[in-house]
Chain A
């Protein structure tokens, strides 16, 4: 780069005042112009906020009238408070992480399954798609918050109806009775832990459906981008649809699985039923904002580590089609 610049300077006649700009440079300049909003925002808004947030967790704050916020450096005390002094945080964190580890595969597998179904030609496909994407738009934020603290659905779908409200013993919102599932599995002797996990998932199906909307969209987009010619040649060679799925669809969609896994994790931070985030939010509102920041960073870093490991493992198995 520098050499060519120097060469240009030497050879360029001095009377020409206008600088000669190569096409590459010109394009780079317009590129910078297009991404300029993001760069400016990153530098003056986002990075300061993130840095402040990290710095804050090592300080205690005091708001002084007329002088803004004053910081006193206290080292790792906030982290100590979060991890050692608070009786509930570690417990909430471990159970929340366990829930996350169970939920992610469930959401990814479910959304892949539904995306494959919705990608097939059938009567009423448009209507089904419209219904399945309703949660993306309508069951977020406020509505999810209202739903999370809502006993009405459970009363209404319960066997005894809304009138008693007494059937709380077994959560009545279950689509299939969890008892049936556990009876089915108990005769298989696969261990009570697994049975418990599966029953929890079955009970949680509404939640899983609600949270897999965007993932479904991403999978659908991925499925659409697979060349139909591949399927055609497969069917000519006599492959069954089961084989086609595992030999063609699954490898071709594998990059989407990684994307969706990461998206699901990120999305879980903002979902209303995330116990850890709710705990942190309550802590933020009630006790200490700074300690809650420390908690949020601990949570984020642990989840990020999990995602990094999962992404590292998955990316070894991902198949990228070469497009030449």
Chain B
């Protein structure tokens, strides 16, 4: 740097004036942009942008095709010239699915169950995670290992006995149960109701709850202890501290977990399937509306593609409310995860 041209003059008592020769714009430009370093950076940035846009395209493309095909009428599937934009757009597919597959009823039922499970799981996992993060007691490490165990034994592996548990619900083991002592041999059937899912949620055993507990624990570990200590000194009890200090603090993380719990329950096809907790045909849930409406069930050259398009339209209708939720919550998703600072 050559700033020998700096001139300092005293203007008034409290003010000085510094004059120096400015580097010319061209020189600045040359230094900044005409270097190998900048070229490398530029190439890297373009490469990165192209790559990210490409992968985004891969992610979004199926949605485009699904949306496009959902508006196609049967004739579009046999038309050679139709690729993405339908020539005879129709809303009939949507209409028939909504009417014949009882979409709104399914939507309402699934909304109820997802909201219930989401809220309960979020709260329970928050409580359990807090207990693991902030309190040391005998056996807490073994208990946490058991949490990890519930996470790694997939429910698919134990599905039969899980079904049996709720089909013949009884507190106890196979040949010994509390209800059996009172002579009720069959136990209570809880299938075809929301109760099994709610029971699992209340005890923090539902789908991927181990992961949520783990995330909450990591989050609370990063919350400084001084916060609670100062609350204790001010005379607040354990539970008041938890509700008034800790819960408001963990809202971003809780929204993240709620988003997971809600949307995974929403698109769930395991617990709500006919071979699991909802064997009856009367319970209309979103997992059961993926089928071809009778009026659209036709047999013609493009039939396969058409029935696939209908199934995709069902999928679109299922995820439409989720997309809205995601648009509102995705900011929290990244924030919550970032703040948790999960570190092994």
Contact = CB atoms under 8 A, between A and B. Distances in A.
A153 B132 contact: no
A231 interface: no
Interface string A205-229: 1100110000001101110110000
Contact of B315 (A142, A151, A258): A142
B58 A209 contact: yes
Contacts of B340: 221
B268 A138 contact: no
Interface stretch (B3-11, B13-21, B95-103, B133-141): B133-141
Interface in A134-191: 134-138, 140-143, 145-147, 149-153, 155-157, 161-165, 175
B267 interface: yes
B161 A141 contact: no
Interface of B: 45, 48-49, 51-52, 55-56, 58-62, 65-66, 68-69, 77-84, 124, 127-128, 130-132, 134-138, 140, 143, 146-147, 150-154, 156-162, 164-165, 168, 171-174, 185-187, 199-200, 202-205, 211, 213, 238, 242, 259-260, 263-264, 267-270, 275, 286-287, 290, 304-305, 308-309, 311-312, 314-315, 318-319, 322-323, 326, 330-331, 333-334, 337-338, 340-344
B186 A68 contact: yes
Given A142-B290, A266-B151, A290 B135 contact: no
B131 A34 contact: yes
B158 A42 contact: no
B161 A56 contact: yes
A27 B77 contact: no
Contacts of B51: 117
A112 interface: no
Given A153-B65, A221-B338, A48 B173 contact: yes
Contact of A133 (B153, B168, B264, B330): B330
Contact of A145 (B140, B159, B269): B269
A256 B138 contact: no
A79 to B, nearest CB: 14
A68 B48 CA distance: 61
26 contacts: A27-B137, A31-B134, A31-B140, A32-B137, A35-B128, A37-B124, A37-B128, A38-B205, A51-B173, A52-B173, A122-B48, A131-B56, A132-B55, A138-B267, A145-B290, A147-B62, A161-B83, A162-B83, A162-B305, A163-B78, A217-B337, A218-B337, A221-B341, A256-B343, A256-B344, A263-B211
A145 B150 CA distance: 24
Contacts of B48: 117, 120, 122
B268 A38 contact: no
Contacts of B61: 153, 157
A269 B203 contact: no
Contacts of A153: 61-62, 65
A120 B203 CA distance: 40
B268 A141 contact: yes
Instruction: Give the size range of A's interface with the partner.
Output: 35 or more
Given A135-B59, A156-B68, A206-B62, 12 more contacts: A34-B132, A37-B127, A37-B128, A45-B200, A132-B55, A152-B305, A163-B79, A164-B80, A209-B59, A221-B337, A224-B338, A270-B154
Interface string A224-265: 110000000000000000000000000000011011001100
A155 B56 CA distance: 20
Give the most central of B45, B52, B150: most A CB within 10 Å.
Answer: B52
A126 B327 CA distance: 12
Nearest to B301: A165
B160 A131 contact: no
B135 A34 contact: yes
A35 B185 contact: no
Residue among B137, B150, B157, B205 with max Cβ neighbours from chain A (10 Å): B157
A293 B202 contact: no
A72 interface: no
A41 B204 contact: yes
A222 B342 contact: yes
A23 B171 CA distance: 35
A297 interface: yes
Contacts of A209: 55, 58-59
A38 B143 CA distance: 9
A142 B160 contact: no
A66 interface: yes
A164 B199 CA distance: 50
Contacts of A150: 308, 311-312
Query: Would you list the 3 A-B pairs with minimal beta carbon distance, nearest first?
Result: A41-B203, A34-B131, A31-B135
A34 B312 CA distance: 43
A292 B65 CA distance: 37
A4 interface: no
Contact of B153 (A33, A225, A289, A300): A300
A210 B62 CA distance: 11
A140 B263 contact: yes
Nearest to A217: B337
